Chain A
Amino acid sequence: MIIVLLILHGLLAVTLLGAITHQALSAAPGAATAGPRSFMRRFRSVNPGAYANAVVVLFVVTTIGGGLLYPQYRLDVRTALEDMQMRAANGLFEIKEHFAAVGLGLLPTYWLFWRQPLMPQQATARRALTWLLAFIVWWNFLVGHVLNNIKGLMP
């Protein structure tokens, strides 16, 4: 059961990563839609507002999944890391859990600022909130994968 939940958590995280990355890059300054259709231009030329609801739902569901996995992590993985004197790995996870919490707190305002019609006076805040969430999602995704595979990664 825990393996199924772990895989589901990972798949949801991949989906969230894709959505928030699309949105963050398309909301960045200079995301023009004219000109040659390169891969990056096509990647950025999405409607960023269309991702907001999906990001909120995916963030909440992925965090709930992480919360359900946490007890097993606390008993098995963290104990093993402590036994192996891997303080940095434990520190990375500590930061991951704090970032998840900060991200949860951001979601209501993030959702509000992406509601149509988009207010020009909220453009900077909207972009900053999106980039903050993107940073959190990328950090948590990478740390989660490193910790999940740490026995294979370390000699």
Chain B
Amino acid sequence: MTPSTLSRYPSFPIFSILFSIVYLTCFYMDWAPFRYYPDARTFYLRPNPQAGPAILWYGWLAAAAVVSGAIAFVAPRRLTERLGPGWAWIVPLLTIIGILIYEKRWFV
């Protein structure tokens, strides 16, 4: 990819590709850097069942943003330039398909 807009923001496609992968991994592994407990209105770094039901989504988003942002920031420019534009939508599409397959468990 060498167009002028892309050369100004070479890390954006890397970010988009990695974001969905990191998010899916965190969600699948049930791992979040922090959890929010709405009953207690408190964030905890570790599971705290006594505080009621937990929300992991904020933690998954934060992990995906930080990890993919950091990697995209340090990724070599030539890697971005060799990456075709198709990967920026194919990987998220596969992530969506993976999510639908995994979440089938709610409908059986």
Mark contacts of B62-102 with chain A using CB atoms, 8 A cut-off: 1 yes-contact digit, 0 otherwise: 00100010000000000000000110110011011001100
Evaluate contact between A97 and B57: CB separation under 8 angstroms.
yes
Chain A: minimal CB distance from B41 (Å): 8
Evaluate contact between B16 and A109: CB separation under 8 angstroms.
yes
Evaluate contact between B20 and A125: CB separation under 8 angstroms.
no
Q: Which residues of A contact B61 (CB under 8 A)?
A: 101, 104
Evaluate contact between B53 and A132: CB separation under 8 angstroms.
no
Chain B: minimal CB distance from A143 (Å): 12
Q: List 12 A-B contacts (CB under 8 A).
A: A72-B38, A74-B55, A91-B106, A98-B27, A98-B99, A102-B96, A104-B19, A106-B16, A106-B89, A108-B9, A111-B12, A121-B3
Interface residues of B, Cβ cutoff 8 Å to A: 1, 3, 5-6, 9, 12-13, 15-16, 19-20, 23, 27, 36, 38-39, 41, 52-53, 55, 57-58, 60-61, 64, 68, 85-86, 88-89, 92-93, 95-96, 99-100, 103, 105-107
